[in-house]
Amino acid sequence: MLKHYWVAFFVVVSWVVNFRVLDASAGDADPLYRACVKQCGETGCVAQRCFPQCNFSSDGVSVDGPWYMQEPLYMQWKQWDCQSDCRYYCMLDRENKREATGHDPVKYHGKWPFKRVYGIQEPASVAFSVLNLAMHFHGWISFFILLYYKLPLRRDKKTYYYFASLWHVYALLSFNSWFWSAVFHSRDVDLTEKLDYSSAVAILGYSLILSILRSFDVKDDAVRVMVAAPLLAFVTTHILYLNFYKLDYGWNMQVCVVMAVVQLLVWAIWAGVTRHPSRWKLWLVVVAGGLAMLLEIYDFPPYQGFVDAHAAWHATTIPLTYVWWSFIRDDAEFLTSNQMKRLKTSNLAKKAK
């Protein structure tokens, strides 16, 4: 039954992903919106609001010097250009008029009409990304303290938990991923987009490797390399493809969905067969994580211009991250306890001889 559920889930996700990628944005096809953007580019104004960055001389040089230096200090680092501001305020103008006539919000250039806060493009997603980063940091710190200050250590001061180094790398990749997620949602430009996408692919690929190594209890370094090498090669090639050949949104989404679903399957199967004392936490993360992915499918416009489906998905991962690191700590205690029992039994056997 579980197998059929995940197969059906994967088919639905793949179909919706392909549909969303091919679906054009209705907002930027609106003639009134296009006319507004064109007029703004010529006059530098939308209604009564005018932008200094649109004030150019005949040779294309800003009349009053670098335009971003004319902005308030808290806005300068965003460096919104003339086209960005024209599109943004024309979008707000059109959405206000659409709302007045009872029409639902539409997307513009592939994005919902978000409202900026202090120049931040998607404030809710930024806030939730930062909270996810903080939750991962809290989880890793508590894991580190548990390993090196609460659990017994070997004579060489190394931990008995033989997956410790893998989780440390996982933490670093998670920090990196959520940091660039916050930056990207603050200001969507080509560089921040590629860094966000690349970081997400990296953590998904590594998480898949980690799920296989932990579920099959792989301890030998040589076997770990054999398992990880082909997946690392694929993830690295995919990241290079996105950054230096083509940023293919559809293909990237399919790759991410496959890696996410496969690792959820691996964890779910292992949770079903293991006698791990904290397997219920694993089940909770797997089931809730799978349901949370539905938010990426059921795409809805931002409430009050701030919280859309993607931002809501970021919000759901905050408590799941807490539970996940709780499971990792429990796993460290469980395996360390088993190791200590084996050592004690081995020492007793030696003394008996």
pLDDT for 119 equals 82
Spell out, as residue ranges, where the chain has pLDDT lower than 50.
Answer: 1-23, 57-70
* Domain limit, last residue, from 40, 72, 101: 101
Do 195 and 313 belong together in one domain? Answer: yes
* pTM for this entry: 0.85
CA-based R_g, the chain, Å: 25
Domain count, the chain: 2
Residue of 32, 36, 71 whose CA lies nearest to 51: 71
* CATH (domain of 244): 1.20.1070
* Rounded Cα–Cα distance for residues 227 and 14 (Å): 26
Do 162 and 69 belong together in one domain? Answer: no
Do 158 and 51 belong together in one domain? Answer: no
- Can you give the residue range of the structural domain that contains 38? 24-101
Q: Residue 321 falls within a domain, yes or no?
A: yes
pLDDT for 282 equals 94
Helix (H) or strand (E) holding 119, with range, is: none
pLDDT for 144 equals 97
Q: Residue 156 falls within a domain, yes or no?
A: yes
Q: Which two tokens stand for residue 297?
A: 């499918």
Q: Residue 5 falls within a domain, yes or no?
A: no
Phi, psi of 117 (to 5 degrees): -130, 115
Dihedral sign computed on CA atoms, order 18, 20, 23, 25: negative
pLDDT for 349 equals 65
Do 162 and 278 belong together in one domain? Answer: yes
Do 121 and 167 belong together in one domain? Answer: yes
pLDDT for 19 equals 41
Do 197 and 344 belong together in one domain? Answer: yes
pLDDT for 352 equals 66
